[in-house]
Structure 1
């Protein structure tokens, strides 16, 4: 069974991304289509601004942090990006993490759990789709959109929401189908 990696894209102190990532990871772990669900928090990974001297398509990584990041992404069969919207776009740490690698991303599906105040992160998702398709990734059409004004209680915790849970299940269904469909393309000769 395939491995799903959930990537929390915000590294900002005080962020809610980790709480949303933990919620989604809990649901995905209970979902039976993925053998392993792994949460990666970019704040914990701590990748410096891209510092490799060789182009990522060469796969010649000099730094340990890059080799570890490469191993994490290469071992994954599908991804979910838990991502905020900052000024109508996606976060710089997410773009940096993507740009570190090249072939490790190819022919893998990617889903989106976005969040924000006004648009729920929808504009950031539309922007990141241009990036991931260039890497030969397949964005899922289904997504989870979290409007923070309605999703958080007075203490900043996520309010239970059956609609959000249902959207997550629909996203996982789509990712499972795409993961199976793209698997033959990931086999190397």
Structure 2
């Protein structure tokens, strides 16, 4: 069975991101097709990315603060990124968390759940481009939610019921691709 991490995309104290991630996990846990885990990037206390060499240049190089982060991403087979859209992109905290690592992301699958004033569509597209460099295969369907209709007063998450169907399509693809990509990583695949 594959292990899928549901990664938060915000570290702000006032974030609603955790509410969305918990919703994703509650739906995912009903499925029984993978092991799902909520992975809150805020828990890893990663400082601003300011390393002497990029992770892509040295497979062995991981910043001291990122060792636990590296271990967590290494043990996962796929991801659901839950990202808000800030200024038409992903948050700096999420970008830094991705940039700290390279090989740990390689040949894994991801889906995106986004939200924002324009449904987080630009953040989703931004994340697709960012994840292409560390060789993460981002699945086609994505969940896009509005701060105006899926949140009460932009603070309390209250998603429209149809989002659950879309999320299940994302999860279907992430589980299938994560399973297939295990063989690319040289791991035994059991269905």
TM-score (norm 2): 0.90
Say whether residues 1:21 and 2:12 are aligned partners. no
State whether residues 25 and 37 of structure 1, in contact with CA within 8 Å, keep that contact through their aligned partners in structure 2.
yes
Paired position in structure 1 for 2:33: 33
State whether residues 44 and 68 of structure 2, in contact with CA within 8 Å, keep that contact through their aligned partners in structure 1.
no
Distance 1:62 1:171, change over 3 A: closer
Displacement of 1:159? 2.0
Q: Deviations over 1:96-151 (max 9, x none)?
A: 0001011000000010000101x111001111211111111100111111111111
Paired position in structure 1 for 2:85: 85
3-state DSSP of counterpart to 1:102: coil
Structure 1 gap segments, 5+ residues each: none
State whether residues 10 and 41 of structure 2, in contact with CA within 8 Å, keep that contact through their aligned partners in structure 1.
yes
Q: Deviations over 1:43-83 (max 9, x none)?
A: 222100124445424223351x3110000000000001100
Paired position in structure 2 for 1:49: 48
Paired position in structure 1 for 2:149: 150
Larger deviation, residues 74-83 vs 9-18: 9-18
Number of corresponding residues: 185
Structure having the higher helix fraction is 1
Paired position in structure 1 for 2:123: 124
Give the whole-Å Cα distance in 1 for the aligned partners of 2:4 and 2:66.
20
TM-score (norm 1): 0.91
3-state DSSP of counterpart to 2:80: strand
